[in-house]
Structure 1
Amino acid sequence: MNRIVPKVVLLLLASVLSCTASAQRFAREGILAGAADPTIVAVENKQGQTEYYVVATGRGVRLYKSTDLKKWKYLGRVFENNVPEWARRAVPGSNGIWAPDLSYHNGLYYMYYSVSTFGSQRSVIGLAVNKAIDPESPDYKWEDRGLVIESSPETTNFNAIDPALLVDEQGRWLLYWGSFWTGLKVVEVDPATGKPKPDAEIQPIAARPNHPAHAIEAAYVIFHDGYYYLFVSWDSCCDGADSTYRVLVGRSREATGPFVDADGKPMLEGGGTLVIESSERWRGPGHNCVLTTDEGQWMVHHTYDMQNLRAQRILQIRPMTWTEQGWPKVGEPVATP
């Protein structure tokens, strides 16, 4: 036994070092391993330089930083625990945080996040806020405000994951969410709390009623040239080379819909105009957000790399422009190993 144990330990250590080296190589070459369901913010530092911060699915939420959208540095976890204690009690068996949404409003960074277990409708959405996003700032301290929305088979017809916040052109704070079941929802939230206003109505915005699995999730809304654009992800997110995830979009004059695609089909009836789908190299691109700066716009999403599936879902960033008809299109990734 004394001879066997060290060999086992050495093998485990070698495996860990190999995975770490792989992640470091991908980060160094511009493609970030382990960054599923990303959202991003651009921040001007004290020197007047732009820095980019990404949060992503993971135990405690993964936080990354870049100065050029190509090379990324892992900064650690938002939460010390894998899951906040209140959420762990609410969702037994959960061991990580899914699909955090990061944005900045009124002097605070708002991070909505979801906790669930795979395939379950027992889910919760929480909210944490912070005065700073750089862990080196003396103001960096996350305040967890706890439960925002929850779901269960007994009480709701939706699944409370994949949150995304929008402050619309009228100043309303709107939270979008949903995955499978009856599709995607929106509710108005109170800017003072970040939680739904009393008696606020939950409204449906997109669904796939004729799809056997109702496979739609990852709502994300932006405003552009008089329209609100609702990005969604369809089909299978997490099956490696067999992933069928893809991003579609519809638009509306109102932030709460009704959203229709380029052919005029309502998104509540399964409509959606394709933005990006799998290619020979990249599989299952999806769960996107959009970065808007003075220099342009980028679609930020995850995907699988067929040349290194061991890296799992990786961060990918693509320039986004608009057609003459007012629909988004994306270019090639800004960094490729």
Structure 2
Amino acid sequence: MKQSILIIIALFLFSGNVLSQIFVHDPVITQENDNYYLFCTGFGITQWSSPDMKNWTKEGPVFKETPQWVLESLTDFAGHMWAPDIIFHNDQYYLYYSVSAFGKNTSCIGVATNKTLDPDDPDYKWTDHGKVIQSVPGRDDWNAIDPAIAFDDDGQPWMSFGSFWNGLKLVKLNDDLTTIAQPEEWHTIAKRERSFDIEETEAGDGAIEAPFIFKQNGYYYLFVSFDYCCRAAESTYKIMVGRAKNIEGPYLDKEGKSMLTGGGSLVLKGNDNWYAIGHNAAYTFNGKDYLVCHGYDAHDNGRQKLIIREMEWDNDGWPVVDQTK
């Protein structure tokens, strides 16, 4: 059994193998020409490619070495880069990524750009632009991780982000997508109640993270993850949603409860096959809407695996995803 597990791990670590079930955490996807490209948490952010979103080839890390600005900004950085987002704008791809000390809001969000995502293209080269925002313990009651970019109806770019603390935030970006627009506008878009006896420097309870805003049906849908990841069989992650007519909110669930007071309607949670499901993104590819996330496989020692499911909409305009798989 141990030998089999080692073989599986070796296949996962070796670039170039085509796998149908891939071990990922915090996946995001984009499409370039006839290929899909997935990015996820790892040492240097891991990149995968696929012609069909079913069979995946590992392309390796985006960063072969940790950017120098990360080492200068975070004294207790452990090497992981977390929770990326990938978008195409201004004729290039923007890859946002989180660097942090686990369980602390000693965190930064950085961004890198590339003209193409095809590693075989001569123009393939990641250019790092450094830090976009930073959270500092004792100064900020929010955590600068889990970035996701969305555009409002006027084409204005915004970054949602956050994990635990005093909830999830939204900030306006300049059109270069690498700097915060001035004057700075910080909006809280979702949060859950925290215990009053915890210090501001502690994550505490009130578990909410991984915001992702998706425009559809005349609404901005705010997807978030409630409860706890990264605990294998003890994980309780689940995906919740609210919606608003304006990107700044207020985001309300199906019952009309604000996500500023713990509201959120269930989209997807664990079942007999998955201990927990969370940290999602949402996309439209070739005329179909998809929910992309990771789950903890109950039949494979709680390994974190990629989940992609078609997303439909009920008569009231709320997202519907198959709960039985």
Q: 1:40 aligns with which of 29, 32, 38?
A: 29
Deviation at 1:241, TM superposition (A): 1.2
Map of 1:328 onto structure 2: 319
What is the identity, as a one-letter code, of the residue corresponding to 2:31? A
- Tell me, what secondary structure is at the counterpart of 1:58? coil
Q: In the alignment, which residue of structure 2 is the partner of 1:9?
A: none
Report the Cα offset of residue 106 of structure 1. 1.7
Contact 1:23 1:32 in 2 (8 A): no
Counterpart of 2:201 in structure 1 is none
Confirm or deny: 8 A CA contact 2:12 2:22 kept in the other structure: no
Q: Work out whether 1:302 is the aligned partner of 2:285.
A: no
Percent of pairs with identical residues: 39
Give CA-to-partner distance per residue, 1:4-23, whole Å, 9 cap, x none.
Answer: xxxxxxxx999754522467
Give 3-state SS (helix, strand or coil) of 2:118's partner: coil
Q: Which has the larger radius of gyration?
A: 1
Where does residue 69 of structure 2 map in the other structure? 86
8 A Cα contact 1:210 1:270, kept in partner: no
Instruction: Quote the residue 2:308 is aligned against.
Output: 317
- Within the candidate set 75, 93, 100, 1:109 is matched to 93
* Unaligned residue ranges in structure 1 (runs of 5+): 1-11, 45-49
CA shift in 2, pair 1:271/1:301, >3 Å: same
CA RMSD of aligned residues (A): 2.0
- TM-score under structure 1 normalisation? 0.88
AA aligned opposite 2:136: S
Partner of 2:258: 266
Return the offset for 1:261. Answer: 0.2
Q: Is the deviation greater in 251-260 or in 282-291?
A: 282-291
Could you report, residue by residue, the CA deviation over 1:282-322 in whole angstroms, capped at 9, with x for unpaired residues? 12210000121233011000011111126x31111011000
Amino acid aligned to 1:43: E
Consecutive aligned runs of 4 or more in structure 1 exceeding 6 Å deviation: 12-15
Per the alignment, residue 31 of structure 1 pairs with: 21
CA–CA distance in structure 1, aligned partners of residues 296 and 267 of structure 2: 17
- 1:1-337 aligned within 5 A: 16-21=6-11, 28=18, 30-33=20-23, 35-44=24-33, 50-81=34-65, 83-94=66-77, 95-209=79-193, 213-309=205-301, 312-331=303-322
Determine the C-alpha separation between the residues in 2 that align with 1:205 and 1:140.
Answer: 36
Structure 2 counterpart of 1:8: none
Letter in 1 for 2:222: L
Give the whole-Å Cα distance in 1 for the aligned partners of 2:118 and 2:261.
Answer: 42
What letter is aligned with 2:70? A
Structure 2 stretches of 5 or more lacking a match? 196-203
Q: Is the 8 A contact 2:268 2:323 kept in 1?
A: no
* 1:170 aligned partner, one-letter code: D
Q: In the alignment, residue 31 of structure 1 is paired with which amino acid?
A: Q
Task: Report the TM-score when normalising by structure 2.
Answer: 0.91
Pick 1 or 2: higher relative contact order, CA cutoff 8 A, min separation 6: 1
The whole-number CA distance in structure 2 between the counterparts of 1:128 and 1:242 is 35
For residues 226 and 76 of structure 1, what CA distance do their matches in structure 2 show? 38
Contact 2:214–2:283 (8 Å) recurs in 1? no
The number of aligned residues is: 313
CA contact (8 A) 1:318 1:332 kept: no
The structure with the largest helix share of the pair is 1
